[in-house]
Amino acid sequence: MSKRSAAAAGLVAASFAFAAVAWAQGATKTYTDPQNRFSFSYPASLPVETAANPNQPVNILVGAADYECKMFVVERPENASASPDAVVRAYSAVVAGDAWKRTADGFNIDRKQATVQATSVDTAKFWPVQRADMRTSSGRPLLAAMHARGGFEVWQFCTDYDNRDHTAVFNQIISSFSGPNDAALQAQAEASTADRAARKAANDAAAAAAAEKQKKQKKKN
């Protein structure tokens, strides 16, 4: 390697080291979906590109030459009018590995060569986050996640090309995902759940009272 190439490589490495420190210190930007359906935070030093092609998922690329997150917005009109609690219930079950594989291949991730190592779903918060640990054909870690809201899904696939560990950055990008009405929708879902529980308790009490009345009537006869 020439002195000029070595200097350039050193400059690139230093810039990405600075980016990691800046991210840790809170230097971030926020990407907001053009339709205002969701947003997420990412290191301010990274570029963002968006491509929307007819009849294809919206493709969002966050990253640079050394590491990146590819994101795809998939329309789900069949559940656009579903209640928030119905959406949560529908996406609380773990997405199986073969489904992750089909989806990744459908997006041409790693030229359809990526493999699924493990899958899980994070239900610690109200909105479930589907997760998958994958590997590229060259053995690099590929961190994947899927977020769902009524009417759409966002699939994220994050990997590196410099053999450095960017897991913390990827996880922060994934965990920062949110919808503009998340709090209101959660409150609506919780109110619906409480209402169903109250109605069930009332129905159970009425049924028990009717059964007791019938029992007493039988004794009289």
Alpha carbon dihedral 64, 65, 66, 72, in 10-degree steps, equals 60
Consecutive 10-residue runs of the chain (221 residues): their mean pLDDT? 43 42 67 96 95 79 93 95 94 98 96 98 96 96 97 97 92 97 92 68 69 75 65
Q: Quick one: 87 and 105 in the same domain? A: yes
Q: Quick one: 96 and 197 in the same domain? A: no
Q: Quick one: 110 and 147 in the same domain? A: yes
pLDDT at position 217 is 77
Q: Quick one: 162 and 189 in the same domain? A: no
For residue 155, being part of any structural domain is answered with yes
CATH of the domain at 69: 3.40.1000.10
pLDDT at position 91 is 97
Q: Quick one: 205 and 107 in the same domain? A: no
Residue 153: how many CB atoms within 10 A of its CB? 18
Read off the pTM: 0.77
Structural domains of the chain, count: 2
* Cα distance between residue 177 and residue 203, in whole Å: 40
pLDDT at position 156 is 98
Q: Quick one: 159 and 52 in the same domain? A: yes
114: nearest Cα among 164, 172, 155, 54: 155
Domain that holds residue 210: 182-214
H helix runs in the chain, sequence order: 3-24, 84-90, 97-106, 167-175, 182-220
Note whether 60 and 49 are within 8 A (CB).
yes
Q: Exposed, middle or buried by CB within 10 Å (0-12, 13-18, 19+), for 163?
A: exposed
pLDDT at position 65 is 85
H helix runs in 69-181, sequence order: 84-90, 97-106, 167-175
* Cα distance between residue 189 and residue 201, in whole Å: 18
pLDDT at position 16 is 42
Q: Quick one: 157 and 209 in the same domain? A: no
pLDDT at position 46 is 95
pLDDT at position 41 is 97
Q: Quick one: 191 and 169 in the same domain? A: no
For residue 75, being part of any structural domain is answered with yes
Please list, in sequence order, all residues whose beta carbon lies within 8 angstroms of the beta carbon of residue 127, skipping any fewer than 6 positions away.
Answer: 88, 147, 148, 149, 179, 182, 186
pLDDT at position 221 is 65
For residue 189, being part of any structural domain is answered with yes
pLDDT at position 208 is 73
118: nearest Cα among 106, 130, 103, 102: 130
Alpha carbon dihedral 193, 184, 121, 145, in 10-degree steps, equals 160
Strand positions, DSSP E, 38-196: 39-43, 48-51, 58-63, 67-75, 115-122, 129-135, 141-149, 152-160
Q: 57-63: long-range contacts (C-beta < 8 A, 24 or more apart)?
A: 57/107, 57/155, 60/31, 62/31, 62/173
For residue 76, being part of any structural domain is answered with yes
pLDDT at position 206 is 66
